[in-house]
Structure 1
Amino acid sequence: MNQLHTASNLVWQSPQTTPEHRRDLLKQYPVTLWMTGLSGAGKSTLAFALEKRLISQGHACFVLDGDNVRHGLNRDLDFSPHARTENIRRVAEVAKLMNSAGLIVISSFISPYREDRGAARDIIGNEAFLEIHISTALQDCERRDPKGLYQKARAGLISDFTGISAPYEPPLTPALSIDTSSSTVDSCIERMLKLVEPFLIRDNESRCGGS
């Protein structure tokens, strides 16, 4: 192994810009909204709709979407349990970097395992991690089947498919639970906006809890 790449030769470089500088510039506190749920539950639809609404209100945010990330950063990973764990670890590290830049991050991943989501929370930090369970039932997700994946999974053409041939462990105490089979997109967005509201700084306001 090249010794230049070992941890003992790495030194953390401290920035000259503080989180407070970014907070004052962007008028917001960084947070990651971690959306988890089955394929077809509505995660991506809600994530991008929320991003659009926040940006229209002048807030800097970005969606990390499961399919999009696997086109680039995580294109080398399959859907085995080990690879899923690595997928979430990498995404959490990216979300942490984006939070360090002062951004609001909207993460849209099946992220089926509680342990992996707990590890993501540890990486990002408990105060900046809000878990949102898109709790749409399996039968509703399968009935929608927007990508035809459930049909392929039932036919045995896709292995390790969450909800069919691989497990999904729902959150035990999410910050918010949303069932898109019984709620409109607009009503879901309003509920998520209320959740993120404490992280947004209005003129002449400061968030409770200090800096």
Structure 2
Amino acid sequence: MDSSCGPVLWFTGLSGSGKTTTAQHVYERLIAAGRKVELLDGDMIRSMICKGLGFSREDRLENIRRIAYVADLLARHGITVLVSAITPYHEMREYLRAHVAGYVEIYVKCSLEVCEQRDVKGLYAKARRQEITMFTGISDSYEEPEQADLIIDTQQHSLASNVIQIIEWLDGHVWETESMQSLSCVAAGQELGEQLGLEAAHHKSKGDHG
């Protein structure tokens, strides 16, 4: 990876899998460690620079291209970028790998059943009643990543351990030559009480329809 570019950590997964929750806590760890970091949430981006796009395959591809442009621009200025977006198709992720400097694909794995159980917005229920069309996992497909750089399982593992796994991966693959204090040590040294706080947040992850 070009050391002049920041990594782009792209969290992909079903709505309710824990993408945004995990990304937010990684963001907080990196900020605490003195990193220059930006978090791009798919829902927020869609309501701003992607406003007007629908959920057809073509519109979803355009949505991802626009997010990718912003992420790549930030990364080329040395900023670590975290993106939380469903990104359901292989085609999208192939585009990102080809066009985004420092692209790191993180598959946030969780079964559809558990994602539905976590759905505080009731989006899955609406999709099953056909009140929402082109909803990933119900009326539109999620093509499971085959070349993810990192897989975190939010169904089998705790939020705290997933955050540490990501930061340890960054230490070993992106920042291994730096003299800065190991971020993995910072993360692993968190008090148990804080980890319990992460666990509480884990069960409140918001759904999305990107």
TM-score by length of 2: 0.80
Structure 1 residues 1-211: aligned runs within 5 Å: 23=4, 29-125=5-101, 128-197=102-171, 198-200=173-175, 201-203=178-180
Give distance in 2, aligned partners of 1:120 and 1:172: 14
- Residue deviations 1:3-58 (CA, integer Å, cap 9, x gap): xxxxxxxxxxxxxxxx87xx5xxxxx511111100000000000111000000011
Q: CA deviation at 1:146?
A: 2.2
Shift in Å at residue 203 of structure 1? 4.3
Contact preservation (8 Å) 1:32, 1:129: yes
- Cα deviations by residue, 1:105-139 (Å, 9 ceiling, x for unpaired): 111110000111110111113xx111111110101
Contact between 1:88 and 1:117, CA under 8 Å: does it hold in 2? no
Instruction: Give, in angstroms, the shift of residue 173 of structure 1.
Output: 2.0
Partner residue, 1:11: none
SS of alignment partner, residue 151 of structure 2: strand
**What secondary structure, in the 3-state scheme, does the structure 1 residue paired with 2:35 have?**
coil
What is the rounded CA distance, in whole Å, between the counterparts of 1:129 and 1:146 in structure 2?
30
Question: Which residue in 2 is equivalent to 1:14?
Answer: none
CA contact (8 A) 2:109 2:155 kept: no
| Equivalenced residues, count | 178
Partner deviation per Cα, 1:85-112 (whole Å, 9 max, x = no partner): 0011111111110001110111111000
Equivalent residue letter for 1:171 = P
**Secondary structure in structure 2 of the residue aligned to 1:189:** helix
| 3-state SS, counterpart of residue 9 of structure 2 | strand
Identity between Structure 1 and Structure 2 (%)? 40
Give the structure-1-normalised TM-score.
0.80
Q: Do the aligned partners of 1:51 and 1:63 also contact (CA within 8 Å) in 2?
A: yes
**Which sections of structure 1, spanning at least 5 residues, go unmatched?**
1-18, 24-28, 205-211
> For the Cα contact (< 8 Å) 2:14–2:86, is it kept in 1?
yes
